[in-house]
Every structure is written in structure tokens, then in C-alpha cells.
Structure 1
């Protein structure tokens, strides 16, 4: 659940939210809420071990990378559209 949200929402969050720090915080809040629900859902059988937390940490890192990538792509697009190509005289 958390991994799917990270993959689907990471790049768009970075692309659509102009402030990179705000985009990272928003993504962290969404992933943390989903992580709490997911951990409660799978934790009742005492099946959570160290690898579960490693996977979650990697998921957060991938999501942060996607947010940064989306922000970079958005900034490049804005810069390209704000500075028109010089015309010949």
C-alpha cells in the first residue's frame, strides 16, 4: 500500500507543489498515515520483523527521490517557458 502510493504520488507531488520542502513534507505525511494503517493491518500476527522496516525506509527514500525529480522537472519546464528564445533582428 505504501509502496504503491509512493510510486503513484511521488513525482506528481514534486511537480505540482512549487515548494520542494512542502512537497517532501506532504509526501511524508501521506506515507506515514498509510504506513500506520498498513502496520496495524499486518501487525496483528506478529509478522513484522526488521526487513519490514528496511523496506519502508527504502520506500521513503524512493518517494523523496521522486519528489525531488518532479520538482526539478517542473522548475526546468517553468524556466523554459518563462525565457522565450531570442528573436532575430
Structure 2
């Protein structure tokens, strides 16, 4: 659940939210909320071990990378769509 949200929402969060730090925080809050629900759902089987937390850490890193990647793509695209300033001499 957390991995799917990270893959589907990481890049759009960086692309759509203009402030990169706000996008990272928003993604972190969303993933943390989903992680709590997911951990409660799978935790009743006593199957949570160290690899579970390693996978979650990698998921957060990938999501952060997608957010950071989406931000400059958005900035470059917005900059390319603005009309150039023409000065006459």
C-alpha cells in the first residue's frame, strides 16, 4: 500500500506543489499515515521483522527522490511556457 502510493504520487507531488520542501513534507505525512494503517493491518500476524522496516525506508527514499525529480521538471516546464520578454532598441 505504501509502495504503491509512493510510486503513484511521488512525482506528481513534486510536479504540482511549487515548494519542494512542502511537497516532501506532504509526501512524508501521507506515507506515514499509510504506513501506520499498513503496519496495524499486517502486525497482528507477528510477521514484522527488520526487512519490513528496511523496505519502508527504501520506499521513503524512492518517494523523496521522485518528489525531488518532479520539482525541476515542473520548474523547467513552467519557465518554457512563459512568453519571452522582447526589448526594442
RMSD of aligned Cα (Å):
1.3
Residue 25, structure 1, aligned to residue 39, structure 2: no
TM-score (norm 1): 0.91
- Of the structure 1 ranges 12-21 and 77-86, higher mean CA displacement relative to structure 2 is found in 77-86
- Of the structure 1 ranges 74-83 and 17-26, higher mean CA displacement relative to structure 2 is found in 74-83
Residue 12, structure 1, aligned to residue 12, structure 2: yes
Number of matched residues? 86
Aligned to 1:47, the other structure's residue is in SS state coil
Stretches of structure 1 lacking an aligned partner (at least 5 in a row):
none
Please show how residues 58-77 of structure 1 align to structure 2 within 5 Å: 58-77=58-77
Task: Give me the whole-angstrom Cα distance separating, in 2, the residues matched to 1:84 and 1:60.
Answer: 39
Aligned to 2:36, the other structure's residue is in SS state helix
Task: Give me the whole-angstrom Cα distance separating, in 2, the residues matched to 1:54 and 1:16.
Answer: 29
- What is the CA distance between 1:83 and its match in structure 2? 5.2
Task: Give me the whole-angstrom Cα distance separating, in 1, the residues matched to 2:85 and 2:55.
Answer: 46
Aligned to 2:75, the other structure's residue is in SS state helix
Stretches of structure 2 lacking an aligned partner (at least 5 in a row):
none
